[in-house]
Structure 1
Amino acid sequence: MKPVAQIFRPRTQALLALLLGLQLSLPVAAVSLDDLLNAAKLGDAGAVTQLVSQGMDTNSTDQNGNSLLILAAREDQPKVVEALVKQRGIKLNARNAAGDSALMLASLKGHAEVVQLLLAAGAEFDHEGWNPLLYAAFEGRLPVVELLLAKGANPNVKAPNRTTPLMFAARNGHEEVVVRLLKAGVDLDWKNDQNETAESWAIKNRNTDIAGLIQASRKARAAGSGK
């Protein structure tokens, strides 16, 4: 009869080999994902395309739920965005842990070229809750506001606290955006949860020129309607 050590040695060696193989494979997978995420952020469209073609998930995310598309859009990498939107199965409207999509973050940052690419690819833009137009108006991103309105975005969309794009732009002193929204025929007298209007917010924040524009627009509408 063979000693116990000799009986179990082959099984032990096989188990050790399996564990060693797993240990060796984990860093490779981790590095590959890091490489893919970094390529998206840094604008290396070639590397992104190559890694995806080698089997990496087009919708891979970082620990905060940012997909490759969200990262590329946030960092203003239009070449990567252009490459990703062509990938089969790409999730154009994926949200990160904070609830932001690629188009929302591109709008917030004012990355007009990226916004244009995402809109052309069919990204959702006129949804409930925080959305691209609200973000763009809040930050005064006029070129993005223009793109979204031209696409058909609702100029009177409401944030969760019932604040409109006009109200955000008026409060934050973004006169050009206010002018564009006034041309779109926005509601001048809407009140949010704080009982503020665009005009009252502009006055409170000493944006008197903007308050004047809103007052002038109200008078012009009244004159035009015969009131």
Structure 2
Amino acid sequence: MKPVARIFRPPYRTLLTLFVGLQLSMPLAAASLDDLLNAAKMGDAAAVTRMVSQGMDINSTDQNGNSLLILAAREDQARVVEALVKQRGIKLNARNGAGDSALMLASLKGYSDVVQLLLAAGADYDHDGWNPLLYAAFEGRLAVVEQLLAKGANPNAKAPNHTTPLMFAARNGHEEVVVRLLKAGVDLDSKNDQNETAESWALKNRNTDIAGLIQASRKARGAGAGK
């Protein structure tokens, strides 16, 4: 008869195998997520599509809340964006930890090809708070401003501090964007929380040509209203 202690002793090799298997599986899972995130950032659309088809979450995020779509849009990876927006369950309007969506970051950086793909897929372009048009105007991204206005974005959108696209463009010296916004019929006298208008901000930052454009537009509107 075998001793009782030996009957219930777990086989050493079985325990070792389970322990090693567990240790190996943990870094593999982490590496797989890293691989997916890196593929999105580096523009490897084939790898992203393959890993998603193998069961990885299409809406996976990094530690800052950036989804695959946000990462691809931020890095101007149009092929990855194109592949992602075709996937069932993709969250087009997901926000990262800073509150930015894929379309907002693409607009901020002026990636018009990515912007077009996101707009065509149905991404939200005209929402309260910071939005794509405000970002594009701030950085002077004329092509993106054109795309967003053509889609129907509100030219008088207001940031949380009530700053408008025209104010941002005027303050930062983006004359072509100012001209385009004036053509869209923006409010010339809107004020932000600092009681600044687009014209006053232009003058304060010595963008006198832009201030002149706004003044001329105001006169033209006044003349038109008097007819």
Instruction: Please state which band the TM-score falls in when normalised by the shorter chain.
Output: over 0.9
Query: 4+ residue runs of structure 1 moved beyond 4 angstroms?
Result: 11-16
Task: Give the equivalent residue in structure 2 for 1:49.
Answer: 49
CA RMSD of aligned residues (A): 1.4
CA deviation map 1:76-111 (0-9, x unaligned):
000000000000000000000000000000000000
Task: Give the equivalent residue in structure 2 for 1:22.
Answer: 22
Task: Give the equivalent residue in structure 1 for 2:79.
Answer: 79
CA distance in 2, matches of 1:35, 1:77: 16
CA deviation map 1:142-191 (0-9, x unaligned):
00000000000000000000000000000000000000000000000001
Matched, 1:168 2:171: no
1:139-178 → structure 2 map (5 Å cutoff): 139-178=139-178
Task: Give the equivalent residue in structure 2 for 1:192.
Answer: 192
Amino acid at match of 1:117: L
1:91-102 → structure 2 map (5 Å cutoff): 91-102=91-102
Amino acid at match of 1:25: S
Task: Give the equivalent residue in structure 1 for 2:180.
Answer: 180
**Residue-pair matches, total:** 227
Amino acid at match of 1:163: T
Task: Give the equivalent residue in structure 2 for 1:69.
Answer: 69
Q: 1:14 offset after TM fit, Å? A: 4.5
Greater Cα offset, 163-172 or 22-31: 22-31
Calculate the TM-score normalised by the size of structure 1.
0.96
Query: Helix, strand or coil: the match of 1:47?
Result: helix
The percent of aligned pairs where both chains have the same amino acid is 85
CA distance in 1, matches of 2:165, 2:212: 17
Q: 1:5 offset after TM fit, Å? A: 4.4
CA distance in 2, matches of 1:60, 1:13: 37
CA distance in 2, matches of 1:26, 1:42: 24
CA deviation map 1:17-69 (0-9, x unaligned):
33322211111111111111111001111111111111111111111010000
Matched, 1:134 2:134: yes
CA distance in 2, matches of 1:216, 1:21: 74
Q: Extract unaligned runs of 5+ from structure 2.
A: none
